[in-house]
Structure 1
Amino acid sequence: MTLRIHKILNNNAVVVLDEGQEKIVMGPGIAFQKKKNDIIPRAKIEKIFVMEEENEKFQELLRTLPEEHIDIAEEIISYAERELQAPLNNHIHIALTDHLSFAIERIQQGYQIQNKLLNEIKVLYKKEYQIGLWAKQLIRERLGIDIPDDEVAHIALHIHTAKMDAASMNKTLQQTTLIREMIDFMKQTLRIHIDEESISYQRLVTHLRFALNRIENGELFHTMDPDMLALIQTKYEKEFACAVAMAEYAKKEYGIEFPVTELAYITLHIQRLTIK
C-alpha cells in the first residue's frame, strides 16, 4: 500500500489519509524536501499513529514544539516500551511530549522544578524511574541540559500512567500523595527523622501502596491471630496509636478505611523505622 503525504507537520512527521482516516506517520527526515501528495519512503517510517480523540492536538504539538523536544520524547517512549516489554497508551505521545517541552523551557529560563512526591515515586515506580534517569542522560547528551531528579520523577509518573493496566494520572497522583501525607503525619506525630533511602522506609511505602490497592479493588486483607494483634497493640502502643491516627486521617481526607489488622502490619513497619 502506497502512503502519500496529506499534510506536513514538521521534518519528521506528516499526516496521511488511509481509507479516509487521518494517520500520523513519523520517521527521521520523512518530510525533508517533500510536498503534499509525495510518496513516503517505507524505509523512513518508524511509527504510525491513529489519534482518534486527540488527533488535532497531537498535530498541533508536532507543528509548534521544537523538533528536538519531540524527537527526545519519542526516543524516551520507544525506550520505555522496550524496557517494560509492553506498548504504552497512545496518549503518552501527547502528554509526555507536551510536558517535557514545557519542562525543558522552564529549566532553560532558570526555573526550579520541584516534585514533592520524588521519594515515593522512586520507591513505587522503580522501573519507570530508571527509564527517567535514562531520559536525563539523553537530554544531557542532546541539549546540554541537566534536568533535576524531580523532573525525572515527573517523567516516571507519565510513563507509569501510560501503561495499559495502570490507573489514571489523577488516581495515581492521589494515591501517591496520600502515602506522602500519611508518612508526613507519622513523622510529625512521632517527632522522628526518617532516612528515605532506607530499606525500612521503602518497605513501608510499598506496603501502603499495596494496602491502598487492595482497598480500591475490594480485596481481602491478610488475617492476623487475635493474640498477635493484642500483643502488637500492647508492645508497640505508641506506634499503633500513630497507625490509627494515620488511618483516621486517610478516612477523613480521602474516605479510605483501613481494617484493624492492616493497622497492626503498618505498626510493625513504623516500629522498624523508629529503631535507633
Structure 2
Amino acid sequence: MGIILKNKVVVVKVFNNNIILVRDKGIEKVLFAKGLGFGKKFGETLNPGLMVEKLFKIENEDNQRNMNEVISRVDPEFFALCQEAIVDISEELGEKLNESIHIGLVDHLSFAITRIESNEEIENPFLVEIQTLYKKEFNLAVKLAKKIGDAINVKIPNGEAGFIALHIHSARNNGNLSNTIKYSSLSNTIVKHVEKRLDIKIDRESLDYARFLIHIRFAVERILLDNHIKNDLMGVIKKRYKVSYKIAEEASIILEKGLDKKVTKDEIAYLAMHIERFKSSIEKA
C-alpha cells in the first residue's frame, strides 16, 4: 500500500528515476516510487496527493547537514542503491530504523568500496563477537552486502558485513553507533583478558563462548540502567572459585572504566561462573 503526501514538497535532489530527496516544511524526505524521478528538477514543487511507495524522513538538523555532505561526494546511483537496501532491511525486520543509518551506513560503505577496489585489507577485530551477539543483524548485513556488491560488481567481505551489522543494530537501538562499537570492544577486551590470565585460547565456536558474550551484553545493559541483580551464591562462588573470581574482578574494572559505572559484586560473581567454565575446560583437557 502506498503513502500519500499531505503537503507540497520541493525537490532537492534526484538520485535516479525512482528515488528523490524533497523538503517538506524543514524536514527532508527521501521518496521512492517507480518513475518518480523521471524529468524532475531541483526546486520543482510536487503537490499534495502524490502517492509514493516508500518514504523516510530526516528530521534531525545534524543528520540533514551530514546527509547533504554525503550526497555531495557520493554517486547518486550508489546512494539510491544503499537507500533501497536499507529500506529492504527495515521492512524485513518490520521495524522503523533510526534515521541516522541512511547517512552513516552510506558514508561507511562509500569509503569501504574505495578501500576494496584499492585492494586494501579490511580487518574487523570484533567480527566473531558481532556474529555471536548480533546474529540477526549480521545475517541481514550479509544480504545487504551481497545486494550492493552484486550491483556494482564488488565482493564485500564478511569483515565489512560485520561493520554493516553494527550500523543495523545501532539503528534498531536509537542510532548510537559509537556505543554499539564500544560495547563490542569491551566484550573483546574482556575475552582477551580471560584468555591471557588462564593462558588459553577460547573456542569462538563454543557454546560457552556464546553464553559468555551474551552475558556480558546483558550485564552492560543492567549496569548502565542500574538494574541490579541478586546472586544468592556469591559467597560460595567467591570462596570455591577463587581464581575465576579474581579474574572476574579484573574484568569488572575493565567494564567500570569503559562504562564509567560501578559493577556490583553480584555481577562479578556471575562473571566468575562463566570464567570458571573456561577454567574447568582446561583442567578436563
Q: TM-score range by the shorter chain?
A: 0.7 to 0.9
**Aligned position for 2:246:** 241
Whether 1:269 aligns to 2:278 is no
Residue number in structure 2 paired with 1:203: 211
Shift of 1:98: 1.1
Counterpart of 1:132 in structure 2: which amino acid? Answer: A
CA gap of 1:15–1:247, structure 2 versus 1, over 3 A, is: closer
* SS in structure 1 at match of 2:227: coil
Q: Tell me how far apart the structure 2 counterparts of residues 243 and 98 of structure 1 sit (CA, whole Å).
A: 39
Q: Give distance in 2, aligned partners of 1:68 and 1:14.
A: 11
Q: Which amino acid aligns with 2:108?
A: H
Correspondent of 2:122 among 110, 113, 116: 113
The C-alpha deviation readout for 1:137-169, integer Å capped at 9, x for no partner, is: 213322222212111111111111112x44622
Q: Any conservation in 2 of the 1:160–1:166 contact (CA below 8 Å)?
A: no
**8 Å contact from structure 2 (residues 224, 259) kept in 1:** no
Q: Which of 213, 218, 221 does residue 213 from structure 1 map onto? A: 221
Segment drifting more, 126-135 vs 42-51: 42-51
Structure 1 residues 154 and 7: CA distance shift in structure 2, 3 A: same
Report the alpha carbon displacement of residue 103 of structure 1 after superposing the two structures with TM: 0.9
Q: Structure 2 vs 1, CA of residues 21 and 99 (structure 1 numbering), >3 Å: closer, same or farther? A: closer
Work out whether 1:232 is the aligned partner of 2:262: no
Partner of residue 32, structure 1: 38
The answer to whether structure 1 residue 141 and structure 2 residue 150 are counterparts is yes
Does the 8 A contact of 2:128 with 2:204 survive in 1? yes
> Among residues 183, 198, 204, which one is paired with 2:191 in the alignment?
183
Shift of 1:114: 1.6
Instruction: Return the TM-score normalized by structure 2.
Output: 0.83
1:142 counterpart letter in structure 2 = A
Give the drift of 1:99.
Answer: 1.0
Give the match's secondary structure for 1:25. Answer: strand
What TM-score results when the alignment is normalised by the length of structure 1? 0.85
Match of 1:223 among 231, 246, 249: 231
* Uncovered stretches (5+) of structure 2, i.e. residues with no partner: 1-5
Tell me whether 193-202 or 165-174 shows the greater mean CA deviation: 165-174
Instruction: Classify the secondary structure of the residue corresponding to 2:20.
Output: strand
Distance 1:135 1:50, change over 3 A: closer
Where do 5+ consecutive residues of structure 1 fail to align?
none
- Stretch deviating more after TM superposition (142-151 or 24-33): 24-33
RMSD: 2.7
